[in-house]
Amino acid sequence: MKRFSLFLMFVFSVFPLLAQENDSDAKVQEVYQACIAMRDAASAKDTAAINQSANLLKACQTKEFAALRSKQEKESLDGHLVFDEEFAKQLAEGKDAYQQSDSICGIRTERGQTANGAIKTKTCFAKAGKSVKYTFPSKNKQILAVVAEAGGRVTMKVHVTNKKGLNKRYDDTTSVRLGLPNRKTTFMLPGDCVNTVELKVVNCSKKDISFVVISN
């Protein structure tokens, strides 16, 4: 009887964690698909589709990925797509949102600090043929995705370390040189200490691009 009780305690303690992980997977996938939809709609200049993607992003309730830091000089996003519902809304209204990218990002940063969403996003920039590096802390299950603006192709290189000696890579292995329009990866990290994740995004295309980083 005691063993059975212990078994039940184990089951009831594990199930909520599994449910939480599955919920996180689903939410990241929703944001990932919404960003792809927004990119494609903006590229096609399809007002109805842009409006729909704006509503999808708003429903996802993402927040700014404030912990994603880079030591490289910050570049202007003006002239490039911002993966945000306000940007999509302005596009749908016929406004030249591309020339307001930096200011829209600023508004998003302020708004994102109080957003309730669990999924974090940040629109970033990479010059043609160049790469940018970011770092952020993480524990347990890590889901990372990158979506490039129309015409962009990217490759992700992920390096994880911690004070206990962890030194592991989770690099993309398909179409590494050519890149892909969007990428997504999942990996498990130790939960008993803070791990430092270094994300390197390589712009494999021959033009400057914006891209969004998505994380659980």
The 10s digit of each residue's pLDDT in 174-209 is 999 999 999 999 999 999 999 999 999 999 999 999
Q: How far apart are CA 195 and CA 192, in angstroms?
A: 9
Handedness of CA 212, 48, 43, 153 (dihedral sign): positive
| pLDDT, position 114 | 45
Element (H, E) at 193: none
| pLDDT, position 13 | 46
Handedness of CA 150, 85, 59, 126 (dihedral sign): positive
Q: Is the pLDDT of residue 113 over 60?
A: no
Return the percentage of the chain with pLDDT > 70, whole number.
86
**What mean pLDDT value characterizes the chain?**
89
**Alpha helix ranges (H) inside 45-186:** 47-60, 85-92, 101-112
Domain count, the chain: 1
Residue type, 185: T
106 — pLDDT class (breaks 50, 70, 90): confident
| pLDDT, position 5 | 46
Q: How many alpha carbons fall within 13 Å on the CB side of residue 76?
A: 6
For residues 130-148, give the mean pLDDT: 97
Q: Is 78 helix (H, G, I), strand (E, B) or coil?
A: coil
Q: Is the pLDDT of residue 102 over 50?
A: yes
Q: What's the pTM? A: 0.88
Q: Is the pLDDT of residue 39 over 90?
A: yes
For residues 80-108, give the mean pLDDT: 93
Looking at per-residue confidence, does 23 or 141 come out higher? 141
- Cβ neighbors of 127 (< 8 A, separation 6 or more) are 75, 203, 208
| pLDDT, position 8 | 41
Strand order in the sheet with 154-161: 131-138, 195-203, 154-161, 167-169
Note down the domain range covering 8. 2-215
* CATH code, domain carrying 150: 2.60.120.380
Q: Is the pLDDT of residue 110 over 70?
A: no
Q: Is 157 helix (H, G, I), strand (E, B) or coil?
A: strand
Looking at per-residue confidence, does 63 or 9 come out higher? 63
